[in-house]
Amino acid sequence: MPTLLVLNSSPFVETSVSRGLTSEYVESWKTANPSGTVVFRDLTASSLKTIDAAWVGAAYTSKDARTAEQKEALATSETLLAELRAADEYVLGVPMHNFSVPAVLKLWIDQIARVNETFSYADGSPKGLLAGKKATFLVASGGAYDAGTVMASYNFVEPYLRTVFGFLGVTDTNFLSAGGASALMYGKIDRATFLQPHFETIRSQFVTA
């Protein structure tokens, strides 16, 4: 049975565009995978901390040599890594914050990007250890930052996430963007109307010939 890991990183709930997109993705995925398992991780409620010297020291200490304190320092990271390994597919709701990813998503990445866990240098070159996984990124932004737009060069979300996940071995990636969400804030369009075409795009990903 396939497993989908859902990661949300918006500080908003009911009004969040990215959470609306992940909810639609989950429903479509469940329809296509009726026997599958869905695991949710709300990064805004996960109390993730910045990594410090103790964390780094623990991560670079062999497992059988770690002290109780070092194991505790890595406890959250171990939990997040277990979720990653158990899932066959990931879907991430990503609101653009200051042209990049939300701070909580960066904290999560720092917790799971670990040598000999999600990547290695066994042969002297970096090798991703999460090969065979698939990731879909549902990106919401106030403005339009897609390729070909005036503000395209300001988009650091897609290149960053593509690079990080590719480094970890996840090369089967798909980005769906919902730009122009600021129109919702100014009452220029209602939420249902704005989301509808993006919902249709998500549903189309599950249509089989």
The rounded distance, in Å, linking the Cα atoms of 12 and 16 is 5
- Residue 47, pLDDT above cutoff 60: yes
Q: List pLDDT tens digits, range 55-80.
A: 999 999 999 999 999 999 999 999 99
pLDDT at 209: 54
Helical residues (DSSP H) of the chain, grouped into ranges? 17-32, 53-59, 68-73, 75-86, 103-112, 157-167, 182-185, 191-204
DSSP 187: T
Please name the residues in contact with 168: beta carbons below 8 A apart, sequence gap of 6 or more: 112, 113, 118, 119, 128, 129, 130
What per-residue confidence (pLDDT) applies to 128?
A: 97
Q: Give the integer Cα–Cα distance in Å for 207 and 209.
A: 7
Question: What average pLDDT does this structure show over 84-99?
Answer: 98
pLDDT for the residue 39: 98
Taking 80 as the threshold, does the pLDDT of residue 208 lie above it?
no
Q: What is the pLDDT of residue 207?
A: 84
Cα separation, 64 vs 125, whole angstroms: 25
Look at the pTM and tell me if it is higher than 0.85: yes
- For the record, the structure tokens of 107 come out as 């904290």
Q: Which residues pair with 38 in a beta bridge?
A: 4
Note the pLDDT of residue 146. 93
- Every domain of the chain and the residues it spans: 3-204
What is residue 113's predicted lDDT score, i.e. its pLDDT?
Answer: 98
Pick the CATH number of 3-204 from 3.40.50.200, 3.30.450.20, 3.40.50.360, 3.30.200.20: 3.40.50.360
pLDDT digits (tens, 9 = 90+) for 121-165: 988 899 999 999 999 999 999 999 999 999 999 999 999 999 999
- According to DSSP, residue 28 is labeled H
Predicted local confidence at residue 155, as pLDDT: 97
Give the C-alpha separation, 43 to 181, whole Å. Answer: 21
* Percent of the residues in the chain that have a pLDDT greater than 70, as a whole number: 100
* Predicted pLDDT of residue 83: 98
